[in-house]
Amino acid sequence: MSRRTTVRLGSFAAVAVALWFLPTLQGPIGFPIFYLLFGYTLLFWFAQASSWNMFTGYSGYFSFGQGAFFGVGVYTTGVLAAKRGWPLIAAIPVAGILAAALGLSLGFVVFRLRRLQGEIFALVTLAVAFVVAAIARVSSKIDGGSGIALNDVQLPDFLGTFPSMMFRLGLVIAVLTVFAAATIQHSRLGWGLFSINDDEAVAESLGVPTFRHKMMAFGMSAFFAGLSGAVHAIQISYITIEDVFSIRIPLFVIVMSVLGGMRHWMGPIVGATIIHTLTDRLNRASDLELFGGNVTVSLDHLNDIIIGLLLIVMVLAVKDGLWPRLVDRKWAAAGAFVVGILIARIWAPEMSPIGQFVAGELGAVAVLLPSSAVIDRWRSRGGPSETPDEPTSQPTVGATP
């Protein structure tokens, strides 16, 4: 194990241990239980977005299979834990293995056929979710069209109360997933995936085992998506085909990864944090009254509108994502974040801490969104010059890690 990997492992372990004991502070400090459930959901999106990005973001093969892998994880918990009485802890790894098996089976077929690339690959992976959903619907041993209740699942007592258990299980899976994504990026596998992203034919001519690299990354992506889905089944409590195999999971992980940046493991973390905190506040917002209460605007669908607009803006204006810009403009973003929180505290002192955090996020994003051309023109007129902390270019294909 290299020194860099050892340091990374130690850092992730330290974060995991520190957050593991957070639920024990709920009683002494008295913060609402809602924050544990909010934290679990954020960790869930960390795992889902990072698992998707470790394949698609690095290799460039755009996959919509996340919904299928997530669904396999959810229904594995439903069948094994709810119908057959397995303990939840025993069902979770099986869910990851079955999701990985589905991913590897799909990859073995599509990666062998050269014509199944680009939009064809995306459509094939999207179709897999419909096939898996249809199998679950017609099979009485899985769903049978009636759904599965998870009220009697054997939950592990050593993890504490239900909110504490969900937070800790989500924490373990999120840390493992993000650590895997970071390790892949800085390994020979990651460099091979980036070379596939740049030009697969050239990568093969230089000796990169493209089929093996794609299979490994796709299998791990499916494995972690299945693990996260297995835990999330308990949070759903009653699983149905329509809820589990909806387009919500694939859409959100794509938006999160594109927003944060797909060529770095921190990108999905940044994107998931922004999207989840923003959608949480929008979901809790009341109707908007205008003109002294004479006009009322319903905010029921504002969440979807804003997420859609964000995706359009990112695709058109910020193709590299926010993370590279955050590295380049970290001090400006930090200042805007603090200013946003201060404005929120002054303008709406009753606002919750999450709402104030969202206000800070929006301030930071406003600083990060302008294009490099705008920043360069500003610097040419006397603005400060900033340089990245480290080079952004990827190693060459033949380099030694």
pTM above 0.75, yes or no: yes
Fill in the amino acid letter for 250.
Answer: P
Flag whether pLDDT at 376 surpasses 60. Answer: no
pLDDT of residue 298: 56
Mean pLDDT of the chain: 84
pLDDT in tens, 254-289: 989 998 999 899 999 999 999 999 888 877 765 554
Flag whether pLDDT at 148 surpasses 80. Answer: yes
Rounded to 5 degrees, φ, ψ at 335 are: -65, -45
Q: Provide CB contacts within 8 A for 123, sequence distance 6+.
A: 64
pLDDT of residue 300: 56
Flag whether pLDDT at 397 surpasses 70. Answer: no
Q: What is the dihedral of CA 95, 101, 104, 110, to 10 degrees?
A: -100
Q: Which two tokens stand for residue 349?
A: 């002192």
Whether residue 338 contacts residue 276, with contact meaning beta carbons closer than 8 Å, is answered with no
Report the alpha-carbon distance of residue 142 to residue 169 in Å, rounded.
24
- CA angle, corner 179, sides to 218 and 74, nearest 5? 55
Reference 214, options 134, 110, 140; nearest CA is: 110
Report the alpha-carbon distance of residue 232 to residue 301 in Å, rounded.
24
Please spell the DSSP secondary structure of 302-327, one letter per residue: HHHHHHHHHHHHHHHH-TT-HHHHHH
Flag whether pLDDT at 373 surpasses 80. Answer: no
Q: Provide CB contacts within 8 A for 199, sequence distance 6+.
A: none
Three-class DSSP category at 149 = strand
Least confident of 71-80, 164-173, 187-196, 315-324: 315-324
Helix 188-205 vs helix 210-236: angle between axes, to the nearest 10 degrees? 140
Least confident of 46-50, 273-277, 313-317: 313-317
Query: Which of the 8 DSSP states describes residue 290?
Result: E
pLDDT classification of 237: cutoffs 50, 70, 90: confident
Question: Using CB atoms within 10 A of its CB, is residue 329 exposed (0-12), middle (13-18) or buried (19+)?
Answer: buried
Report the alpha-carbon distance of residue 318 to residue 252 in Å, rounded.
17
Q: Provide CB contacts within 8 A for 110, sequence distance 6+.
A: 116, 121, 124, 125
Rounded to 5 degrees, φ, ψ at 87 are: -65, 150
Give how far the C-alpha of residue 341 lies from the chain's centroid of Cα atoms, to the nearest Å.
25
Q: Which two tokens stand for residue 11?
A: 């850092």
